[in-house]
Amino acid sequence: MRSFSRILSGCCLLAAFCLFGARAHAQSATSAGTVFWLGYMENLDLGGNGPPYLYVVVNAQQSAQVMLEVPATGDVFPYSVPAGGSTVIYVPSNFSYPIGAEVYYDDGLRITSDVPVTVHAIHHRLYFSEATLVLPYPELGTDYRVVAEKDVNDASPSEFLVQATADGTEVQITPSVPTSSFRPAGVPFTVMLDAGNTFQLQSFDDLTGSVVTGLDAAKPIAVFGGSKMGRVTCTAATDHLWTQLMPTTSWGTHFAVVPYKDRGGDIFKVIALNDGTTVSATTGLTLSLNAGEYATPLISDPALISSNAPIAVVQFNQSQDCNGGAPGDGCMAFIPPSDHRSLSSRFWSLTGPGGATTGWTPLHTLNVVLQAKAGAPAVLLDGVDIGPQFQPMPAAAGWFFVRKDIVEGPHVLESASPYQAQVSAFGDYNGLTFYTGYQEELVSTAITTPEQPDVLDLLAPVGAPWVFQAAQPFAQGTLTIVEATGRVVRQWSNVRDGQVVRHDLGPGAFIYLFHDRQGGVRQRGRLVVMP
């Protein structure tokens, strides 16, 4: 056990900051926020399959006043979200998406709210739909490794899109493969973007592993990846693939994955951040990867994936003819690390415009995974306990999952134990998927603790970084700051012993909880912020 408390001098803080460098800033692990940036990628040519229907779904625990903005044009569209509900916003039809192999586009979107909300975006198109969880501004970063997907017939490009959140944002891009605009692989180039502007890059090879770097740490960027019209494994039919990517600072070493219902397994693309990365899964899978390398195993059963260094994991539903007879075409979702969880989620699952079903996505399913000591706890879906429907995860003691059919429309999911939830909507040769989010309302009463946690009081200065001190050397997990009322005020994931944490807490006494990657409280105590 270390000393009970310590005051760190300004010299120590500065030295620690220099030592830990670019990875010192621990991102706030919540998908709830007040500012979001959104860019749609190129889908099927606009002349086919009718118009695109672009939706933004805003979900709020308390009543919210929301603005949909187009910074380049100054257009602003106000909306209201009821407390505890969701509002579906139809993006005006004169706003679309970029078209081309290397193209700048002005009309990226910004969503703002007067209170924290979560946001999902849906790109509905006849036989070509997709969706994504939209990350709030504090979850963005400046360092990304792209995850995209190649069409197996080489008939449609993989693609990714970069969006600026501030004027004068310089971005360096290093493609992993030759691009459709004749950029060579491995040779960096730069683009300059203003707030809301997007840049789209395409290749008929797989752009996965491309490096995207914002050159100003004060100007984070948003990055989306996928395919214009990709065939995943099977060659019969294409679908649009699109998901928002997490920056590498939010990658993790532990993931819980649940393949989609009734389709025999999914493709999981696993990409490494560092050389010498080893990956294993409870299915028996083992991988060895170097930086930027990836593998695409088929995983048939719910599983835990772990690694010795940060990785990204992206789930792909295969094209329909590879789904064992189940309807639903290709779609993709960036999987958050398993410590990115929530106790309460609101979401709206959409079939298509005007109630249409043929060629849209009328079959809706909710995947939920959680950890508990003795069976799944009460889990309420729209007020009904679905806990008894959970099943044990194979070869993963203490983990449980459910794949639950749901109906189109708004839903509320609540649990006494933190969970991850993913929505999918499938139809004949069409599919979309998105994670509900990770509000991370993890307080001490919501955690099953395997053993008595260490107690250690900590001190931090106002307005300056502080070094997090774990009771156990080399510990890593999620750091949660809680007011005396029990309200979570800040949270950071992937925090390591000795890591510098930047914060904006005012003077006062708080409670802190340090959870391991399995959700158990390993350390707790008071955090006193000194003026």
Instruction: Tell whether 355 and 246 lie within a shared domain.
Output: yes
93 pLDDT above the threshold of 60: yes
Q: What is the pLDDT of residue 279?
A: 98
Segment 273-299 shows an average pLDDT of: 97
Q: How far is CA 28 from CA 93, 465, 513, in A?
A: 34, 14, 14
Cβ atoms of 273 and 186 closer than 8 Å: no
39 pLDDT above the threshold of 70: yes
196 pLDDT above the threshold of 90: yes
- Cβ neighbors of 409 (< 8 A, separation 6 or more) are 348, 349
For 299-343, write each residue's pLDDT tens digit. 999 999 999 999 999 999 999 988 888 999 999 999 999 989 988
Among the three residues 414, 439, 464, which one is the final residue of a domain in this structure? 439
Instruction: Tell whether 393 and 468 lie within a shared domain.
Output: no
Segment 426-443 shows an average pLDDT of: 82
Helices (H), 70-123: none
Which of 488, 468, 472 is CA-nearest to residue 418?
488
Q: Is residue 357 part of a domain?
A: yes
CATH of the domain at 504: 2.60.40
> Residue 520 half-sphere exposure, CB side, CA atoms within 13 Å?
12
Instruction: Tell whether 280 and 318 lie within a shared domain.
Output: yes
Q: Is residue 190 exposed (0-12), middle (13-18) or buried (19+ Cβ within 10 Å)? A: exposed
Please tell me the distance from the alpha carbon of residue 338 to that of residue 231, in angstroms, as a whole number: 28
7 pLDDT above the threshold of 60: no
Segment 425-452 shows an average pLDDT of: 69
The band of 14, judged by pLDDT with boundaries at 50, 70 and 90, is very low
Instruction: Tell whether 253 and 344 lie within a shared domain.
Output: yes
Instruction: Tell whether 364 and 501 lie within a shared domain.
Output: no
Cβ atoms of 509 and 457 closer than 8 Å: no
Please tell me the distance from the alpha carbon of residue 89 to that of residue 59, in angstroms, as a whole number: 11
Flag the least confident range among 5-19, 197-211, 404-418.
5-19
Instruction: Tell whether 475 and 378 lie within a shared domain.
Output: no
Q: Is residue 415 part of a domain?
A: yes
Q: Is residue 1 part of a domain?
A: no
Q: Is residue 161 part of a domain?
A: yes
Q: What is the pLDDT of residue 95?
A: 86
Flag the least confident range among 199-203, 252-256, 263-267, 377-381.
377-381
Name the phi and psi angles at 6, rounded to 5: -155, 140
487 pLDDT above the threshold of 70: no
Q: What is the pLDDT of residue 115?
A: 93
Cβ atoms of 146 and 176 closer than 8 Å: yes
Q: What is the pLDDT of residue 518?
A: 61
- 351-354: long-range contacts, CB 8 A cutoff, minimum separation 24: 351/408, 351/425, 351/427, 352/53, 352/124, 352/126, 352/129, 352/427, 353/53, 353/124
Please tell me the distance from the alpha carbon of residue 163 to that of residue 200, in angstroms, as a whole number: 9
The band of 139, judged by pLDDT with boundaries at 50, 70 and 90, is very high
Please indicate whether residue 480 or residue 267 has the higher confidence score (pLDDT).
267
Among the three residues 439, 471, 494, which one is the final residue of a domain in this structure? 439
Instruction: Tell whether 179 and 49 lie within a shared domain.
Output: yes
Q: What is the pLDDT of residue 455?
A: 62
Instruction: Tell whether 124 and 248 lie within a shared domain.
Output: yes
The band of 164, judged by pLDDT with boundaries at 50, 70 and 90, is very high
Please tell me the distance from the alpha carbon of residue 299 to that of residue 303, in angstroms, as a whole number: 8
- Cβ neighbors of 46 (< 8 A, separation 6 or more) are 52, 96, 99
Q: How far is CA 104 from CA 192, 193, 196, 357, in A?
A: 10, 8, 11, 34
Instruction: Tell whether 452 and 338 lie within a shared domain.
Output: no
Q: Is residue 258 part of a domain?
A: yes
Report the residue count for the chain. 531
Q: Is residue 5 part of a domain?
A: no
Q: How many domains are contained in the chain? A: 2
Q: What is the pLDDT of residue 289?
A: 98
High-pLDDT (> 70) share of the chain, %: 89
Cβ atoms of 345 and 436 closer than 8 Å: yes
Cβ atoms of 440 and 480 closer than 8 Å: yes
Among the three residues 392, 416, 439, which one is the final residue of a domain in this structure? 439
185 pLDDT above the threshold of 70: yes
238 pLDDT above the threshold of 50: yes
Instruction: Tell whether 426 and 480 lie within a shared domain.
Output: no
Q: Is residue 3 part of a domain?
A: no
Q: Average per-residue pLDDT in the chain?
A: 87
For 496-531, write each residue's pLDDT tens digit. 878 888 888 887 777 788 877 666 667 877 787 877
3 pLDDT above the threshold of 80: no
Q: What is the pLDDT of residue 452?
A: 54
442 pLDDT above the threshold of 80: no
Report field, pTM of the whole predicted structure over 0.85: no
The range of the structural domain enclosing residue 360 comes to 33-439
DSSP H or E run through 192: strand 189-193
Q: What is the pLDDT of residue 440?
A: 53
Please tell me the distance from the alpha carbon of residue 184 to that of residue 231, in angstroms, as a whole number: 24
Q: What is the pLDDT of residue 484?
A: 54
Instruction: Tell whether 394 and 475 lie within a shared domain.
Output: no
Q: Is residue 114 part of a domain?
A: yes
Both structure tokens of 519? 């959700």
Cβ atoms of 161 and 240 closer than 8 Å: no
Which of 292, 296, 271, 312 is CA-nearest to residue 186?
292
Instruction: Tell whether 350 and 426 lie within a shared domain.
Output: yes
